[in-house]
Copies of this chain bind each other. A is one copy, B any other.
Amino acid sequence: MDVTRTLARFIVECKSEAIPLTVRKEARRSLLNWLGCAIGACRHETVSRALLALGEFSGPAQASVLGREERLDILHAALVNGMSSHVFDFDDTHLKTVIHPSGPVAAAILALAEHRPVTGAQLLQAFILGIEAECRVGIAVYPSHYDVGWHITGTAGVFGAAAACGRLLGLDEQRMTWALGLAATQAAGLREMFGTMCKPLHPGRAAQNGLVSALLAAHGFTSSNQAIEAKRGFAFVAAAERNLDAITRSLGDTWEVVLNTYKPYACGIVIHPAIDGCIQLRAAHALTAESIASIELDVHPLVLELTGKKTPQSGLEGKFSVYHSCAVAIVHGAAGEAQYSDACVRDPRVVALRERVHATVDPAMHEDQARIRIRLTDGRVLDRSIEHAVGSLARPMSDADLEAKFRGLVLEHLGAARTHALLDMVWRVETLVDAGTLARAAVPCVSPGTG
């Protein structure tokens, strides 16, 4: 079975009219959420240090750094924008695989679109097809690939970026097959990096390497034709178990992007049910931190595996602490970017409450569940079971929720007028004659000569 070639053929041949309206709608929501995250983190030191380190090696000013004045060659723009969009860990999640699907794909095609004009409709199609490739490769190797320690957003993401860029470049079936092979042999990213600047590096590198893969393949740079399914191909080398059929089954009949979800909280998604429970109990009982003797959580095993940091020392580490997250949910009634600042993680009120949070694994729970038991100093015990967190497929964020999240991330960087204009432009992306205008509208002021 030619898995890689079959996937390549689908990406090359899929007709735009074969993509249902509901799929395109969800893709626009994904794009909006992604763009907000990328702009929101544009001044973060992760982004600034990367620009300082690599800026002097950039080629011509071909593409925008979202939210900032700098312009870079498209390879560096893909890297920096993909990185920026994952810095807050606030981007989208494909729950089946825990891939953050938009970053690698959108960062790559948006940079490419500034250099090689395509329509907004073409951009959105490529985005959808890239996410499809990325998530199907991810599904094929999940969970063994993730369990052993690969950061699947990096490893699967590069396939999505290569596929989407290859689509925009008009690759034929053979060259698309090579592009996927080039992606396979650059797939990288370790979960050991969680809590460091290397985590957001992964989707950035995936975007950049996927773009490079498509460009090389376009120029006849050869690769394996069975890069995914061969004995020494990606699915065998990087995963103990695999289901290759998941890559090719029902291609064109089902669409992974409709299963995409968006986070109301700026931290690892596995903590969201516990945060929901705390925020709901706080609102229902007007709780203050001082009124609480202890918070006891029953959670899915991944919660402690991924976010078990008892004593986070920085904002970034706070995102990997279910203890800190529940503490801010009570103290602030929120878990946005502000709650994951260094200052907030060191706030004595938050630290004191964090130490009274206890978590126990319940292997019977699914990932979207949590039980929260709050013992008050007056002896009362409050209980809440969460079956589905806000932002899950069962309780999706509304368009209005997404717009509010976007404004919260973007306003300080673009100002009100440009924030509003950009938001409007994303909703009507399929009407854009030149998709590059989207990137150029996502910076503080219009760059000279780019209209």
A residues at B contact (CB < 8 Å):
45-46, 49-50, 52-54, 56-60, 62, 73-75, 148-151, 154, 181-182, 184-193, 196-198, 201-202, 205, 212, 215-216, 218-224, 226-227, 230-234, 236-237
In the assembled complex, the CB of A216 is this many whole angstroms from the nearest CB of chain B, namely: 5
Question: When A52-B219, A190-B237, A223-B196 are in contact, do A59 and B62 touch as well, CB less than 8 Å?
Answer: no
Q: Report yes or no: B54 in contact with A192, Cβ–Cβ below 8 A.
A: no
Q: Report yes or no: A74 in contact with B57, Cβ–Cβ below 8 A.
A: yes
Out of B50, B59, B224, name the residue touching A196 (CB < 8 Å).
B224
Out of B49, B73, B151, B182, name the residue touching A59 (CB < 8 Å).
B73
Q: In the complex, which residue of chain B has the Cβ closest to the Cβ of A186?
A: B188
Chosen A-B contacts, 10 in total, with CB atoms closer than 8 Å, are A49-B221, A50-B216, A53-B221, A56-B60, A184-B192, A190-B233, A191-B232, A192-B233, A192-B234, A196-B222
In the assembled complex, the CB of A172 is this many whole angstroms from the nearest CB of chain B, namely: 16
Question: When A59-B59, A150-B237, A188-B187 are in contact, do A193 and B223 touch as well, CB less than 8 Å?
Answer: yes
The 9 closest A-B pairs by CB, nearest first: A149-B232, A149-B237, A53-B219, A192-B232, A188-B188, A57-B73, A191-B232, A57-B59, A192-B233
Measured CA separation A341–B50 after assembly (Å):
43
Q: Report yes or no: B57 in contact with A227, Cβ–Cβ below 8 A.
A: no
Measured CA separation A128–B105 after assembly (Å):
39
Measured CA separation A74–B58 after assembly (Å):
10
Given contacts A181-B198, A185-B198, A198-B223, 7 further A-B contacts (CB under 8 A): A54-B212, A57-B59, A184-B192, A188-B188, A192-B232, A197-B221, A197-B222
In the assembled complex, the CB of A71 is this many whole angstroms from the nearest CB of chain B, namely: 13
Q: Please, which residues of chain B bring their CB within 8 A of the CB of A45?
A: 220
Measured CA separation A226–B215 after assembly (Å):
35
In the assembled complex, the CB of A139 is this many whole angstroms from the nearest CB of chain B, namely: 20
